[in-house]
Amino acid sequence: MTVPLDRHYELELHASEERVPQVRRIVAAHLRHWKLDLHVRAVCAGIEELLTNVHRHVGDDHRCVLQLRWTRRYLTASVEDGEERMPRPLAAGGGLARIAALSDSWGTCATSDGKVVWFTRSVEAPLSVPRRPSVPPTPVGAALLAPPAAEPVSAAVAGTAAPEDAKDAEDATADTAPHPRVPTPA
């Protein structure tokens, strides 16, 4: 089985005060689906800030495109809008200062018809190894942690027979079980 190298999600929307909480829930669901639960709060806060800035500073259209990309090493969130005016970097208490505090890196980039504001967080792939509960180091605890001893199981007991033993298993059950077409006396 091959594991995809990255995950991508894109959403085109009109940024409004009513829409921001909905988008926040959508993003949180995607992050949880990708097993990035530890990053939900910070990423959603950053996206909320970016969408609120679009609502406040972009013209009447308020159209934007939100993208999430997880490359198994970094999670990048970006919002592209149609406003050509670039944001002021790190104004005291401004939106980009909050983005900088929530992320490992951030930036802006002019496009042919607007700009993109993005931020990244370092995210390692979650371990998919099942975890065992911790057991105190006692003889009973050691017995619980030890792998079970393998016991030989015959094909008839297991309910399956190997192809070469199919005839023997059929003969063994035929001797002990009543024939299905013959009614048994009551």
Chain segment 110-131, per-residue pLDDT in tens: 999 899 999 999 987 555 544 4
- Residue 52 in this model has a pLDDT that exceeds 70: yes
State how far the Cα of 15 lies from the Cα of 51, in Å rounded to an integer.
Answer: 6
Instruction: Choose among 124, 114, 125, 35: nearest CA to 80.
Output: 114
Closest by CA to 50, choosing from 64, 32, 71, is: 64
Give the pLDDT mean for 26-49. Answer: 94
Looking at residue 88, its pLDDT comes to 74
pLDDT level of residue 20 (50, 70, 90 thresholds): very high
Instruction: Write out the two tokens for 152.
Output: 């030989």
Q: Who has greater pLDDT, 184 or 87?
A: 87
Residues whose CB is less than 8 angstroms from the CB of residue 48 and which lie 6 or more positions away in sequence, other chains included: 20, 23, 24
Q: What is the mean pLDDT of residues 53-70?
A: 87
How far is C-alpha 151 from the chain's CA centre?
39
More confident residue, 33 or 159: 33
Sign of torsion over alpha carbons 113, 50, 59, 63: positive
- Position 72 scores a pLDDT of 84
- Per-residue pLDDT at 9 exceeds 70: yes
Beta pairing partners, 105: 120
The one-letter code for the residue type at 68 is L
Tokens of 132: 């065992």
pLDDT value at residue 87: 82
* DSSP letter, residue 126: P
Q: CA 123 to CA 184: how far, in whole Å?
A: 67
Domain spans, the chain: 7-122
Buried b (16+ CB within 10 A) or exposed e, 45-66: ebbbbbbebbbeebeeebbbeb
CATH fold of 7-122, please? Heat Shock Protein 90 (3.30.565)
Phi/psi at 19 (5° precision): -80, -30
